[in-house]
Amino acid sequence: MRTATFLFFIIPLVEMIILIEVGGTIGPLPTVGLVVLTAICGVWLLRLEGMATLTRVQEKLQRGEIPESELLEGIMLIIGGALLLTPGFATDIVGFVCLLPGLRRPLAARIIRSTSFSQFQMHNHFQGGGFRNADGQPGHTIEGEFFSESSNAPPATKANLENSDKSQ
């Protein structure tokens, strides 16, 4: 808790010092322009990398694998995006480390190696597009229609349901 409080006060102070120094060197408008440019680049990169990571998560889940590196990368993308939207150059550096795949992936792999993520296994009973039993064999799907024995009314169809919704 003390570390979080310390960082909460130190990071903005460091950012202000850096912004003042850069503003004194290149001027206030170019400094603001650089801050806005890093935010725009960060949002663009976050969108691009976020979609790529989401696609890899879905592919691994379909293969029945645990997407541990992709999920950690997703968390890093969220943190990196938030840091890039925060005005300042020090947070932008950390944000770009979290967003650039060449830096993010090795860092995520190192974090995973240093933790116990590899102990978990995922059993997917939905592989191959259908239900599977405990042995991994495909289950049996039976298609059909049913009639209610309490009434002689024909079964409801999509057209009948849509018409009854419009009448109410």
CA separation for the pair 86, 80 (Å, rounded):
10
Give the tens place of pLDDT for each residue, 46-62: 999 999 999 999 999 99
Does the pLDDT at position 144 exceed 80? Answer: no
Q: Where are the domains of the chain?
A: 12-122
Place 37 in a pLDDT band, splitting at 50, 70 and 90: very high
pLDDT for the residue 2? 86
Does the pLDDT at position 44 exceed 90? Answer: yes
Mean pLDDT of 28-44: 92
pLDDT for the residue 125? 46
Does the pLDDT at position 145 exceed 90? Answer: no
Q: The whole model's pTM is what? A: 0.64
Does the pLDDT at position 126 exceed 50? Answer: no
